[in-house]
Amino acid sequence: MEMEYKNPSRRGRWVILLGLVLAVGAAAGSFYLISTAQQQAGHGTLQVTTAVVAARPLPAKTTLAASDLVVRSDIPLDATTSIPGVVATSTDQLVGRILGVDVAQGQLVTLNLLTSTSVGGQFSLLGPNETVAPNSDAWRAVSITVADDRAVGGMLAAGMTVDVLMSLAIPPIPSAAPSPGATPAPAASGVAYVAGLSTKVTYQKMTILARQGTYYILKATLPVAEEITQASLDGAMFTLLLRPDKDARILDVSKLGATTSRILQRYGLLIPQAYPVAGGFPSNPPIPAITPPPSPSPAGSAVPSPAASAGG
């Protein structure tokens, strides 16, 4: 009996093809299981919050519109996005406000990036890294009037740091009248106080928040704002001194202060006197006669020496 011949190569090809299909299916299943496990693990540990981001690149000084902003609910909750009063959760908190810095597309538009503390405002009291806390300084905005000749020629602008000089008219110090039966206190030897102006560095490292003409709005603590207001009501004049950006020192000015008498003493300036002075002025020595220049001699002629002229 003759046996039927079957080609084993055809069956081998089917076995190989089936193995490839099973391998691809196993790889796809593994990938799906791993991806699902990672997504479930991520959702189980990562906390998210809602925040507003920039819909396009926004340059500084942009007045924000609704079309500039996008609300996202997948922002990771971290040390930055969990700060109270910093993250905006709706566009209503930002529309109409002015940016103080450039903002990239997709970047969080937080409240500390604004130049205004209210809609339509032009400046912010708090810097990008400042927040209001129970123990933080009570920052306020106070305005003073400074003429251009006392404000670096009017070249100062918002964002600059200045020191403030105060010039105040000091009235004459009245003599203390002793009470009946009391021994009068001895007067200070050789000191006579008179009315005059007194100038001193009073406030250092103050930030200009805004400027309108000769009006300057400065960032000050509540006590300093109170003092500036009282000095202004007393007629004080202020001078602004521009500080270098890198100079953050608070200097000891306890020994500084200028009055006319101190300047006269320090530099030896003469005190004007009434004219004529009794007894007249000492006569000045006579002015010597101007020596005429020598006259040019003819070419080739001998010029007699002074000794020869005197001997002749």
Give me the phi and psi of 237, to 5 degrees please: -110, 145
pLDDT at 192: 73
pLDDT at 121: 58
Pick the closest to residue 160 from 58, 250, 44, 244 (CA basis).
244
Report how far residue 159's alpha carbon sits from residue 153's, in angstroms, rounded to the nearest whole number: 17
Q: 255-289: buried (b, 16+ CB within 10 Å) or exposed (e) per residue?
A: eeeeeeeeeeeeeeeeeeeeeeeeeeeeeeeeeee
3-class secondary structure, 311:
helix
pLDDT tens for 243-286 read 998 898 999 999 999 999 889 888 888 888 777 666 666 666 67
Q: Which conformational region is residue 85 in: left (phi greater than 0), alpha (psi within -120 to 50 degrees), or beta?
A: left
Q: List the alpha helices (DSSP H) in the chain.
A: 8-45, 222-233, 260-267, 306-311
**HSE toward the beta carbon, residue 103, CA cutoff 13 A:** 26
Q: Which CATH number does 49-113 carry?
A: 3.90.1210.10
pLDDT at 311: 40
Q: Residue ranges of the domains in the chain?
A: 49-113, 139-170+195-267
pLDDT at 9: 59
Taken in order 156, 161, 165, 166, is the CA torsion positive or negative?
positive
Residues whose CB is less than 8 angstroms from the CB of residue 197 and which lie 6 or more positions away in sequence, other chains included: 167, 168, 169, 170, 259, 260
Residue for token pair 């190569």: 9
- Profile the chain (312 residues) by mean pLDDT over runs of 10 residues: 56 69 70 66 69 90 86 84 80 82 89 66 69 86 95 90 95 63 54 85 93 91 96 95 91 92 87 71 67 64 44 38
pLDDT tens for 42-63 read 555 678 888 899 999 998 778 7
Range 5-10, long-range pairs (CB < 8 A, 24+ positions)? none
Decide: residue 87, CB within 10 A, 0-12 exposed, 13-18 middle, 19+ buried.
buried
Share of the chain above pLDDT 70, in %: 69
Report how far residue 252's alpha carbon sits from residue 250's, in angstroms, rounded to the nearest whole number: 7
Neighbours of 201 (CB within 10 A): 16
